[in-house]
Structures are given as structure tokens and as C-alpha cells.
Amino acid sequence: MHNQTLVQISNSLKNKEYSSVELTQHFIRRIEKLDAKLNSLITINSDLALQRAAEADRQLAKGEANPLCGVPYIHKDIFCTQGIRTSCASRMLHDFIAPYDATVTERLNRCGMVMLAKSNMDEFAMGSSNETSFYGPTLNPWNLERVPGGSSGGSAAAVAARLAPFATGTDTGGSIRQPASLCGVTGLKPTYGRVSRYGMVAFASSMDQAGPMTQTAEDAALVLEAMAGFDDKDSTSLDTPCPAFSADLGASIKGMRIGIPQEFLAQGLDPLVAERLQQAIKIYESMGAVIKEISLENSPLAVPVYYVVACAESSSNLARYDGVRYGYRCQDAKDLQDLYRRTRSEGFGQEVKRRILMGTYVLSAGYYDAYYLKAQKVRQLISQDFAAAFQEVDLILGPTTPTPAFKVGEKMEDPVTMYLNDIYTIPANLAGLPAISLPMGFVNQLPVGLQLVANHLQEALMLNAAYQYQQQTDWHQQMPAEFK
Ligand code: GLN
């Protein structure tokens, strides 16, 4: 069962080849047997999952269930889940049980999906390797000495190891696509505003966006339909209709114009990753796509711009963790100052503190114009580059990450090298564009991904191009040997 895609599982449930309870038991057994090697999960939810599966079976028996009914999934531990801990991989929220469900949680529940566990991640989604988690690093199922990427590294590792057919992720600067690339799974970040942020612990609110991590683009299309859509509880939610993404797959991509940004092939890209990319481009050409060179002139500035904007927003978002409202509180505070200081010193990890410091610095009266305002202007230029490119092409194609997965510990001492991992993913977040990472082969036995970026709200076109690529290749079907 675990080697089936989500769409195949959905059909098997409908045809009564097995029940949701049997399926859920199968995945729980896999989790119990295999997750000790990976540490991809923070909270496992077996009893409740089995109850939900039994409910789903009753729905399925009536024959009128949603295609996702009874399908198990793993939820990134950044989404509020009523009655179940939401830790955001931080000591600060180690004991936090949300009194309500995030909109994404509620929508997946409503379809009858079965939540197996909450996945490990970088603390407050700050990181590219899953090493900043309070619960220890997650390991990459393709090579247990390597990182799975981050911040949705637990979700990516769990899908790659087939502990669930689908996991949720969130992507502020690449946290869905980068771990998808390093773990050999498909990961989609929707247009900003497509999926509600209500009940998703906030990191950088102008970029945070949730999306699916699956084996295939077809699976991603189906779950995205359930996750996306207007929500009046999120003031930045887009009030536009969502197409039936999964019904729109299969159209020919003959004549589709695909742009390759020259800046994405410049220095820093591993030559072996570049080779895989050239093969992927050939596949698109063989399907009739028209490949064009394009330029995203300001994209080399994306990483510094992102670290100004994301830190500024996070320093403001994280001000709420003060030991008074909810979350961790230090012992025996002498006075209010001591309560704040020790709660935050003890509750946050090093990377989170680094971001808060940078954020408060760039927002301070003396530096606001020099850093924050300047970064916002360059952000606008980056968006304009994309707008100009989309006058000429329908999609943009490039690598997702400059290298395959690196070793645990390798980049922890050097934050700047760590930050450069997201050099190809961050521009889409700054511009609010949808993007997807797809497995495109292996470099030294480690998976690497290709990235497609589309114009605002063009997920259907992007998913179709991804689906067509996966009809021509089988990289997305490969499984790490130890987890077959
Ligand atoms: N790695 C980036 C960061 O550390 C992106 C994280 C994310 O997308 N949540 O900020």
C-alpha cells in the first residue's frame, strides 16, 4: 500500500480493496518501525487516527465520499490542531495545545483525511536543514548522514520514506521546495494568498504560504484543491475561484514557452546538478515546449533582501511569545523584565534569536530607511523582473537547489552558506508566485529537483507541465532502499 501514490490509494479505498482502518494501521506500523531512524515526526497520533479512519470507512461505505476520504497524511507541526500539541519545533511551544484548528487542518479534516502525526521542522520554520529543531534533526532517508533540507524537512523525509502518501509543508523562502528537492519528492508552493494562513504559526507573514508535499504532481493537484480557497479569517486570502487543478491535467504542452533564467545557471550551481537540469530541459523540448533564455536581473539580490524582510517580519511576529499569554514561561521571575528576558532566552533557540536580533536592527529608527525600506524597493524590482519575463514565457524553469543534500552539521556554523541554499527558491516568495519542485534525477545517489515557477494564479498550467514531465520520467517513483 505504501508504494502507491495518493491517487492510487484513493481509488483502492473507493474500490474497497482495503479499508481506511487497514491502511492507517499499515502506515502506523511503518512509522513505529522506521521513524526511529529518521526522527521525522514530533507527535504521533495513532489512536485518534484510527478513530478518524473508522469514521472515514463509514463515509466510504455510503459511496458518496470525497476522493481524499480515508487517506492518511502527516501535518507539519506549524499548523494548529485542536487538542493535539502544536510545537513549531520550539521549546517555546513544547506544551502548547491550540484551542482551534487552522483552516488547512479543518479543510483536510472535512474531506475525511486521517492525520497520522505532526512532522518535525526547523524551529519556527527558520532553517534549511531541519537542524534548528528543539526535537533534534531529521535525517535524509536517502542517506542518514545527510540533512533532509528544511524547514519542512520532516514532511519531506516522511513522504520520501513512504510513512504517508502526503504531508503538508509551508514555504516562506523555499521550505517546501528545497526539502522536496533534497528528498526526491514533489513539493508545491501556491500563489501567495491561495491557501489560508489562519492557524498557521506566523514567521514572515508577507511570504508564508502552505502547500502539499507528495510523490507526484497529480497527487499535489488533488490535495491543493482541498487546501486552497478563500478564507475570511485571513485578511490576505485571495477571493478568486480555484480551478479543479486535478481535472486540468493532461493537456499537451506543445508550443508552451519555457524560460531559463541565466542567473540560475551562474556560479554556485553544482555542475552535476546543471547536467541533470539540461536533461530535464531536453525532455521538455521533446514534448514540444519552446525553450528561451531569459534574465531575472535582480534575482542575485534575493537572498539579502529576503533576510532583511523575513527577519523584520519575524521579529514582530515573535514578540507575542512573552511568557504572559501562552507558551513557555521561565521559573520564578523576579519582575516583569526578568520574566520577558528569561522566557525568551530559554524558550527560543539560537537561530530564532539571530533572526529576532537582525529583524529588530533593520526596523530600528536609525536603520529602517537604509535596510528595510531599501529591501522593499529591491523586492519590487525582483517582482518586476518576473512580470517582464512572463510577457515572454508561460513558465520559468531552473534548479530548485544548487547542490544535493549536505552532511548533518556541515553548514551549522556558517549561517550565510546555509542561507545560500535558498538562492533559487526565494525569488518566487518575494514576488508571491506559485512554484513547484519535481525530482529530476540523482547526483552521487542523492536526489535533486527541478523547479517550475508560474505567473500569479497559474497553478493549473504549472501542474500540467509538471504532470507531463512525470509522464516521461520515473524519478518520482524511486524509493530509498532502506525504506522500501
Ligand atoms: N530557509 C529559509 C529560512 O531559513 C526559508 C525557510 C522557510 O521557507 N520557512 O528562512
129 lies in some domain: yes
138 lies in some domain: yes
- Check residue 417 and give its pLDDT: 85
Instruction: Tell which one of 151, 168, 417 to mutate to probe ligand 1, the residue whose CB is within 8 A of the most ligand atoms.
Output: 151
Which residue lies with its CA nearest to atom 10 of ligand 1? 126
Q: What is the CATH number of the domain that holds 443?
A: 3.90.1300.10
- Check residue 65 and give its pLDDT: 85
Give CA–CA dist 109/92, Å, rounded.
27
- Check residue 267 and give its pLDDT: 76
110 lies in some domain: yes
Beta carbons of 102 and 199 less than 8 angstroms apart: yes
Give CA–CA dist 429/435, Å, rounded.
9
CA of 447 from ligand 1 middle (Å) equals 20
Strands 257-261 and 72-76: unpaired
The reported pTM is: 0.98
- Check residue 478 and give its pLDDT: 98
302 lies in some domain: no
272 lies in some domain: no
Helix axes 271-286, 459-472, angle to 10 degrees: 100
- Select which of 20, 40, 87, 151 is catalytic: 151
C-alpha cell of 159? 513522504
285 lies in some domain: no
**Mean pLDDT, each 10-residue run in order, the chain (484 residues):** 97 97 98 98 97 97 93 98 98 97 98 98 98 98 98 98 98 98 98 98 98 98 98 97 92 97 91 97 98 97 97 98 96 97 98 98 95 97 98 98 96 88 96 98 98 98 98 98 95
Rounded to the nearest 5°, which phi and psi values hold at 66?
-60, 150
How many residues in the chain? 484
CA of 248 from ligand 1 middle (Å) equals 31
- Select which of 76, 118, 189, 411 is catalytic: 76
Residue linked to cell 533534497: 182
Q: Which residue in 104, 85, 75, 121 sits closest to 326, CA to CA?
A: 85
Residue 138 Cα to chain centre, angstroms:
15
- Check residue 64 and give its pLDDT: 81
307 lies in some domain: no
Active site residue 76: yes
Please name the helix (run of DSSP H) or strand (run of DSSP E) that holds residue 7, with its range, or none: helix 6-14
- Check residue 420 and give its pLDDT: 87
CA of 458 from ligand 1 middle (Å) equals 23
Contacts of 35-38 with CB under 8 Å at 24 or more apart are 35/158, 35/163, 37/139, 37/141, 37/144, 37/482, 38/138, 38/139, 38/141, 38/144, 38/148, 38/157, 38/158, 38/161
Please name the helix (run of DSSP H) or strand (run of DSSP E) that holds residue 227, with its range, or none: helix 217-227
- Check residue 147 and give its pLDDT: 98
311 lies in some domain: no
- Check residue 26 and give its pLDDT: 98
- Check residue 241 and give its pLDDT: 93
Give CA–CA dist 220/245, Å, rounded.
9
Query: Residues lining ligand 1, CB < 6 A?
Result: 125-128, 151, 171-175, 203, 310, 422
CA of 428 from ligand 1 middle (Å) equals 13
Residues spanned by the domain of 249: 6-256+402-410+435-483
C-alpha cell of 483? 525504506
Give CA–CA dist 279/352, Å, rounded.
39
- Check residue 349 and give its pLDDT: 98
The number of distinct structural domains making up the chain is 1
Give CA–CA dist 116/122, Å, rounded.
20
Beta carbons of 203 and 468 less than 8 angstroms apart: no
